[in-house]
């Protein structure tokens, strides 16, 4: 859960919390503006709903899916975090969305929840090295994670990871 006044030691933790919250609710988070102090340090950061703004195509989403391609609705849902001394504080959070939220069981398909992490990559590469097919490899990961919703990546991600 992410809420106003939440304090974290690390900026990454605030993002993780918000991202996790977003996954449960059914939207995807994009990192947005960064405000810098005169000394170059970060004063605050803004994370927004993926439907923020009115641009039709989102260049951040390379592995496009239907969800990523949907046009934006200028949604105002967002979270702003402020850096104070050594801590990061959630200074503003807007919960309301002006669009239908994704079914939580499908939220893992949204962009910010579909990053192929190093741990995935290592697994994918070792599976591929055994000589099994892409489908077999992906199914093995699904089986190990006990379900598609727990794998964190899609079959397309799996394939793309090996193409790089
Ligand atoms: Zn939204």
pTM above 0.75, yes or no: no
Ligand 1 ion: residues within 5 Å (CB): 27, 49, 51, 75, 77, 97
DSSP string, 70-137: SPP-----EEEEEEETTEEEEEEEE---SSPPPPGGGGGGSGGG----HHHHHHHHHHHHTT--HHHH
Give the pLDDT band of residue 146 (cuts 50, 70, 90): confident
For residue 60, report the distance from its CA to the centre of ligand 1, in Å. Answer: 16
pLDDT of residue 69: 47
For residue 125, report the distance from its CA to the centre of ligand 1, in Å. Answer: 35
Contact criterion met (CB below 8 Å) for 42 and 36: yes
Q: Is the pLDDT of residue 94 over 50?
A: yes
Closest CA to 139 of 116, 122, 158, 161: 158
Least confident of 3-17, 30-44, 61-75, 109-123: 61-75
The Cα–Cα gap between 116 and 40 comes to 31
Q: Is the pLDDT of residue 70 over 80?
A: no
Q: Is the pLDDT of residue 117 over 90?
A: no
pLDDT of residue 164: 59
Contact criterion met (CB below 8 Å) for 67 and 150: no
Q: Is the pLDDT of residue 27 over 80?
A: yes
Give the pLDDT band of residue 14 (cuts 50, 70, 90): very high
The Cα–Cα gap between 151 and 71 comes to 27
147-162: burial string, b at 16+ Cβ within 10 Å, e else: ebeebbbbbebbeebe
Helix (H) or strand (E) holding 66: helix 66-69
Highest mean pLDDT among 14-18, 114-118, 121-125, 142-146: 14-18
Q: Is the pLDDT of residue 33 over 90?
A: yes
For residue 117, report the distance from its CA to the centre of ligand 1, in Å. Answer: 25
């Amino acid at each position: 859960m992410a809420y106003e006044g939440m304090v974290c030691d690390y900026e990454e933790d605030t993002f993780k919390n918000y991202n996790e919250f977003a996954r449960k609710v059914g939207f995807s988070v994009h990192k947005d503006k960064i405000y810098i102090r005169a000394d170059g340090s970060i004063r605050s950061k803004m994370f927004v709903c993926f439907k923020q703004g009115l641009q039709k195509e989102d260049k951040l989403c390379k592995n496009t899916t239907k969800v990523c391609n949907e046009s934006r609705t200028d949604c105002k849902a967002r979270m702003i975090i402020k850096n104070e001394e050594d801590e990061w504080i959630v200074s503003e959070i807007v919960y309301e969305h002006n669009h239908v939220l994704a079914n939580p069981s499908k939220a893992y398909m949204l962009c910010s929840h579909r990053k192929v992490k190093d741990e995935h990559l290592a697994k994918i590469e070792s599976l591929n090295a055994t000589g099994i097919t892409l489908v077999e490899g992906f199914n093995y990961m699904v089986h190990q994670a006990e379900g598609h919703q727990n794998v964190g990546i899609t079959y397309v991600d799996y394939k793309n990871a090996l193409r790089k």
